[in-house]
Structure 1
Amino acid sequence: DLASVVGFNMQVLGNVGGLQYTGGQTRISGCGTFTFLSSAIAAISGFLMGYELGLISGALLQLSSILALSCKQQEIVVSSLLIGALLASLTGGFLIDRFGRRIAIIIASCLLVLGSLILILSSSYGILIVGRIAIGISISLSSIATCVYIAEIAPQHRRGLLVSLNELMIVIGILFAYISNYVFTNVSHGWKYMFGLVIPIGTLQAIAMYFLPPSPRFLVMKGNDEAASKVLGRLRATSNTAEELTVIKSSLKDEHQYNFVDLFRSKDNMRARMLIGLTLVFFVQTTGQPNILFYASTVLKSVGFQSNEAASLASTGVGVVKVVSTIPATVFVDHVGSKTFLCIGSSIMAVSLVTMGLVNLNIHMNFTNICRNQFLEDSIFRGPGNMSASNESLKEQFAGMPFQGRTSLTTLRKFKTAKTEEQNSTALAGGRTSAASQRGSHIVIDTVEVPAALKWLSLASLLVYVAAFSIGLGPMTWLVLSEIFPGGIRGRAMALTSSMNWGINLLISLTFLTVTDLIGLPWVCFIYSLMSLASLAFIIVFIPETKGCSLEQISMELAKHFRGSDESADLLGKFHQKRPTRKSCVCPYSVV
């Protein structure tokens, strides 16, 4: 999704295409303990990625207060991770092909530890951005390498299960991030603990990966067939590896039939397939899920969960729903079909978003001013602009000011003082004023409590929306993309769609608070609902149901179908004349 997180600019699925289906019913020997253990260690990258994606939701509540961040600055803090991820997606393929999948995972883990250290030791907004970019590069690189490493060490009939382990770890990581947000929300400098928890995990993964073997396919790519045979024997717990080694060599030859430019040519109908892939990725982002992942606590705070603790606790439900929803989608996709899940998910998303928009219209929450309101309240009791500023001096300065009303649950806030605008700005900026001038100040905050029914209905609609994405566009998009392109060019196609995914994610996340500031949360929900309906129409018309079909069948039928062949007019009918087990590799980009 998130629950289907991860960019791969390289020959990712193309690199494993030949291993996914051999054209026959050959089954490689079973998945031994060593293979499962190696996959589990590599899948820790998924956990780290999910944790970093979900973490900012709660950390932003503290950081925005401590640094007195504007809406635009908050957007940059969130999006800086995506900037790093986009950069890595453009170069990650070269790195893992040059140095190997295992080494790339080790480098990514070390970079994540370094980025986390930068974050917890940072004392300014600029250094915070640098740390976030470093972590973005790390999670993007690890997502590329992990998906390929697991796919290349797994036996054919267990590949889907083992690669899905990475997807499951992503959503578990998101859940743990939300739990961490709640645990540390009221702890002094809690954001440092949030960012620091991954340091020992990343360190242990780097050490463990060092003792694992390179993938057999990478060794064959480097011409080391003897070493590849030994690694296969260790992974399969057998000495008879000649047949699988032959399959690997054959798949490498197939990749040279295409080049990148072929993606935009009419050859085998690649241009239409590429358009389908890019459009599907476009809908993954424009239906709004990334903003729910990154700004969950901020959104929940705006609909009535006014304290940081309440908003963080409510956002934990988002993580729980992601995990619970991803499991059945992964287990039953081969029986139900990816198109069915996509249609169900988009339909429910549209309904839940309309519900959430209508509820928020009735709440009348002045969300368009939430960033400025948070800045106003938090600046009174926190030293803005510097993470190390002391809060106590400001508390003492404002202790004598009379307050009328409470700020627990508010729908409209009006901040008024009897002092001049210059005096107000000086106080909010952390400047020093005399005690006499402070005693004459008078702050008025008008409050109206949000009805409990509306608050909980808003949360319920949000959770339904998250669940719908987690069974539909989240995981199924990347399954469809892994199936509609021929093996020889699949990796390059996935590289392009993945980079576009990171890019649109960056754009959407970088403008969410600004757009909401202009039109309000209800209308943002309505726009996302319209995009969900548009995605439903697109899926019904253009996405084929590939349930029970081999990759070769899918590719051949798509090539004929879009050329207008009479023989392939009934695409679904031809697909289901033969129903071998799907051998595709599910490598999610974003569960987000």
Structure 2
Amino acid sequence: MGCSVLVLTIIASTLGGLVFGYELGIISGALPQLQAQFHLGCVQQEAMVSALLIGSLSASVIGGWLIDRHGRRTSILLSNLLILGGTIILTTSISFLALVVGRAIIGFAMSISSMSCCIFVSEMVAPERRGLMVTLYEVGITVGILLAYAANYVLSGVQAGWRYMFGLAIIPSLMQLVSIRFLPQTTGTSEGLVTENDSQQSDRLAGEMSNQHPTEQVKYSVFDLFKTKDNMLRRTAIGLGLVLSQQFTGQPNVLFYASTILFSVGFQSNASAVLASVGLGIVKVIATLLAMICSDKVGRRSLLIGGCTVLAIGLILTGFLCRQSVIDTTKQCTSLEPHSNLTSPAENQENMGNILVNQSTPSTGRETHDSNISSHSEDMYKWIIFICMMTVVSAFSVSFGPMTWLVLSEIFPKEVRGRAYSFINCFNVGANLIVTFSFLSITDVIGLSGIFFVYGVIGMAAVVFIYHNMVKV
């Protein structure tokens, strides 16, 4: 493969990840403005966030067939056009329904794009460089999230700033649309794109060598994913275990509700909460770059086990600290119901701050002194919690973030790779949908402390699963 084609492949894949990350992160800052303008209750806020995932789940059902039948390049081009259409709907929306439809269209496109880009790159590069190249997609995602958080901060005080937040996604989408047109088409049966070592590496990841000769062409159907032949069932189990662990450790909520979570733990203004989320984005980019460098040297399994262990510890510690905090973290949902008289983001944040502080500050004869102590304690806890969240984001970015999709791009034969990706992505998005749609409601019942404890326990279980089911690679 020529150098120019390689460069264009890297650019197209990274831009695809950038768009994906931007769409994931932008709702964090847009949600407070949307809540104020459209008077959204908790269920409506969750629906706004989850619409992206509903569209993505729909794409997962047919995406594998589309990718294997019409090729990776065509699928990416289609996703670009859909993202442009969805963005136009969002930026011109005048109703809650239009917002949900626009987000769902973009979610559909993002799912097609993510599957296509990872498979496309894995088939265009040699196995010894695959870890680096596929991880570039995750780098694009983290940069996109960072740019989204930065846009949230810059536009947080702008009237109807959410329209500009959504509209900025057009720029990288157009750039990818142009770059992908100069790349060759690939399909699941393209010759010369995947070497014989690819099959051998797939078998090693699954736990033992395939009985099939490397050069022998085998026809697979989606039903073969559930058969013991060539360890397909075990490969499928590993893929499902990784994506379910990835979602049920709560990372989607850290992305989607970053500003909301940070506000709940003490960042008592929209601007400060969004700015703190920018810090999370920066840490995520740095950690992903580290994973990109180490993926081919340290190994997928080692990064998954190490990162997931740190992730679980960080989640449990965050839950403990939220429990010790004097801030009431269970009122985030009920205080933002549409019956509230709050009419602007600024008023929302100011009144919310008063509610949270008043609910947790005792009234005594030493009111001023106790208030100073309480304020100092709140400041200390919020920054410690913020550091823990940075640790969680970093650990995810060197483990589940890039490694899950890298492993999935390697463990399945190329003839069925698109459909396998699609099948597993259905569970990935379905789990994401459950975790995201229930977050505010569950937090209102058990608080941030309880939900972070649950995520941490699941993280520990994921470490055990990875240790026993993945061989060292």
Once residues 341 and 351 of structure 2 are traced to their aligned partners in structure 1, the CA distance between those partners, rounded to angstroms, is: 17
Which residue of 2 is the match for residue 468 of structure 1?
Answer: 395
Instruction: Identify if the C-alpha distance between structure 1 residues 298 and 256 changes in structure 2 by more than 3 Å, giving closer, same or farther.
Output: same
Structure 2 unpaired stretches of 5+:
200-213, 360-370
Q: CA RMSD in A?
A: 3.0
Once residues 499 and 473 of structure 1 are traced to their aligned partners in structure 2, the CA distance between those partners, rounded to angstroms, is: 17
Letter in 2 for 1:356: T
Letter in 2 for 1:463: M
Return the TM-score normalized by structure 1: 0.69
Letter in 1 for 2:55: G
Once residues 355 and 86 of structure 2 are traced to their aligned partners in structure 1, the CA distance between those partners, rounded to angstroms, is: 37
Instruction: Identify if the C-alpha distance between structure 1 residues 487 and 116 changes in structure 2 by more than 3 Å, giving closer, same or farther.
Output: closer
Instruction: Identify if the C-alpha distance between structure 1 residues 467 and 409 changes in structure 2 by more than 3 Å, giving closer, same or farther.
Output: farther
Instruction: Identify if the C-alpha distance between structure 1 residues 55 and 156 changes in structure 2 by more than 3 Å, giving closer, same or farther.
Output: same
Which residue of 2 is the match for residue 513 of structure 1?
Answer: 440
Which residue of 2 is the match for residue 309 of structure 1?
Answer: 271
Instruction: Identify if the C-alpha distance between structure 1 residues 247 and 340 changes in structure 2 by more than 3 Å, giving closer, same or farther.
Output: closer
Q: Is the 8 A contact 2:222 2:419 kept in 1?
A: yes
The counterpart of 2:20, out of the listed 17, 30, 49, is: 49
Query: More deviation in 124-133 or 31-40?
Result: 31-40
The counterpart of 1:214, out of the listed 165, 181, 184, is: 184
Instruction: Identify if the C-alpha distance between structure 1 residues 94 and 87 changes in structure 2 by more than 3 Å, giving closer, same or farther.
Output: same
Deviation, 1:381, is: 3.1
Instruction: Identify if the C-alpha distance between structure 1 residues 468 and 219 changes in structure 2 by more than 3 Å, giving closer, same or farther.
Output: closer
Greater per-residue helix proportion: 2
Deviation, 1:454, is: 0.7
Counterpart check, 1:281 vs 2:208: no
Once residues 278 and 220 of structure 1 are traced to their aligned partners in structure 2, the CA distance between those partners, rounded to angstroms, is: 24
Which residue of 2 is the match for residue 109 of structure 1?
Answer: 80
The counterpart of 2:11, out of the listed 40, 43, 59, is: 40
Counterpart check, 1:201 vs 2:165: no
Counterpart check, 1:411 vs 2:372: no
Letter in 1 for 2:96: Y
Deviation, 1:489, is: 4.1
Which residue of 1 is the match for residue 322 of structure 2?
Answer: 360
Once residues 318 and 410 of structure 2 are traced to their aligned partners in structure 1, the CA distance between those partners, rounded to angstroms, is: 34
Q: Which structure: larger Rg?
A: 1
Letter in 1 for 2:40: L
Aligned counterparts, 1:349-498, within 5 A: 349-375=311-337, 379-382=341-344, 408=353, 411-412=356-357, 449=375, 451-498=378-425
Once residues 413 and 259 of structure 2 are traced to their aligned partners in structure 1, the CA distance between those partners, rounded to angstroms, is: 42
Which residue of 2 is the match for residue 88 of structure 1?
Answer: 59
Structure 1 SS opposite 2:333? helix
Q: Deviations over 1:550-581 (max 9, x none)?
A: xxxxxxxxxxxxxxxxxxxxxxxxxxxxxxxx
Instruction: Identify if the C-alpha distance between structure 1 residues 376 and 167 changes in structure 2 by more than 3 Å, giving closer, same or farther.
Output: closer
Which residue of 1 is the match for residue 289 of structure 2?
Answer: 327
Deviation, 1:338, is: 1.8
Which residue of 2 is the match for residue 161 of structure 1?
Answer: 132
Deviation, 1:174, is: 0.8
Instruction: Identify if the C-alpha distance between structure 1 residues 104 and 164 changes in structure 2 by more than 3 Å, giving closer, same or farther.
Output: same
Q: Is the 8 A contact 2:135 2:406 kept in 1?
A: no
Q: Deviations over 1:84-113 (max 9, x none)?
A: 111112212332344433332222112111
Deviation, 1:507, is: 1.1
Query: More deviation in 163-172 or 507-516?
Result: 163-172
The counterpart of 1:528, out of the listed 444, 455, 462, is: 455
Instruction: Identify if the C-alpha distance between structure 1 residues 500 and 169 changes in structure 2 by more than 3 Å, giving closer, same or farther.
Output: same
Counterpart check, 1:503 vs 2:430: yes
Deviation, 1:506, is: 0.9
Return the TM-score normalized by structure 2: 0.85
Once residues 431 and 188 of structure 2 are traced to their aligned partners in structure 1, the CA distance between those partners, rounded to angstroms, is: 35
Once residues 156 and 337 of structure 1 are traced to their aligned partners in structure 2, the CA distance between those partners, rounded to angstroms, is: 13
Instruction: Identify if the C-alpha distance between structure 1 residues 32 and 310 changes in structure 2 by more than 3 Å, giving closer, same or farther.
Output: same
Instruction: Identify if the C-alpha distance between structure 1 residues 209 and 473 changes in structure 2 by more than 3 Å, giving closer, same or farther.
Output: closer
Once residues 215 and 419 of structure 2 are traced to their aligned partners in structure 1, the CA distance between those partners, rounded to angstroms, is: 15
Which residue of 2 is the match for residue 582 of structure 1?
Answer: none
Deviation, 1:407, is: 5.8
Q: Is the 8 A contact 2:188 2:415 kept in 1?
A: no
Once residues 351 and 188 of structure 2 are traced to their aligned partners in structure 1, the CA distance between those partners, rounded to angstroms, is: 66
Structure 2 SS opposite 1:381? coil
The counterpart of 2:142, out of the listed 151, 161, 171, is: 171
Q: Is the 8 A contact 1:42 1:105 kept in 2?
A: no
Letter in 1 for 2:174: T
Q: Is the 8 A contact 2:47 2:437 kept in 1?
A: yes
Q: Deviations over 1:35-58 (max 9, x none)?
A: 313431343111111100111111
Which residue of 2 is the match for residue 297 of structure 1?
Answer: 259
Deviation, 1:183, is: 0.8
Q: Deviations over 1:285-307 (max 9, x none)?
A: 11111111111111001000121
Query: More deviation in 524-533 or 466-475?
Result: 466-475
Counterpart check, 1:129 vs 2:100: yes
Which residue of 2 is the match for residue 387 of structure 1?
Answer: none
Instruction: Identify if the C-alpha distance between structure 1 residues 469 and 164 changes in structure 2 by more than 3 Å, giving closer, same or farther.
Output: closer
Which residue of 1 is the match for residue 34 of structure 2?
Answer: 63
Q: Is the 8 A contact 2:308 2:460 kept in 1?
A: yes
Which residue of 2 is the match for residue 558 of structure 1?
Answer: none
Letter in 1 for 2:343: F
Letter in 2 for 1:524: I
Deviation, 1:72, is: 1.1
Q: Deviations over 1:10-29 (max 9, x none)?
A: xxxxxxxxxxxxxxxxxxx6
Structure 2 SS opposite 1:368? coil
The counterpart of 2:50, out of the listed 76, 79, 86, is: 79
How many residues in Structure 1 have an aligned counterpart in Structure 2? 443
Structure 1 SS opposite 2:184? coil
Query: More deviation in 519-528 or 146-155?
Result: 146-155
Q: Percent identity?
A: 40
Structure 1 SS opposite 2:342? helix
Q: Is the 8 A contact 2:333 2:441 kept in 1?
A: no
Q: Deviations over 1:476-528 (max 9, x none)?
A: 22333344445554443333222210111111111111111111110111111
Deviation, 1:545, is: 0.9
Once residues 149 and 345 of structure 1 are traced to their aligned partners in structure 2, the CA distance between those partners, rounded to angstroms, is: 26
Letter in 2 for 1:282: L
Once residues 477 and 148 of structure 1 are traced to their aligned partners in structure 2, the CA distance between those partners, rounded to angstroms, is: 13
Letter in 2 for 1:536: V
The counterpart of 2:300, out of the listed 320, 338, 342, is: 338
Deviation, 1:380, is: 3.1
Letter in 2 for 1:124: S
Counterpart check, 1:270 vs 2:232: yes
Which residue of 2 is the match for residue 119 of structure 1?
Answer: 90
Once residues 46 and 438 of structure 2 are traced to their aligned partners in structure 1, the CA distance between those partners, rounded to angstroms, is: 7
Structure 2 SS opposite 1:114? helix
Instruction: Identify if the C-alpha distance between structure 1 residues 201 and 330 changes in structure 2 by more than 3 Å, giving closer, same or farther.
Output: closer
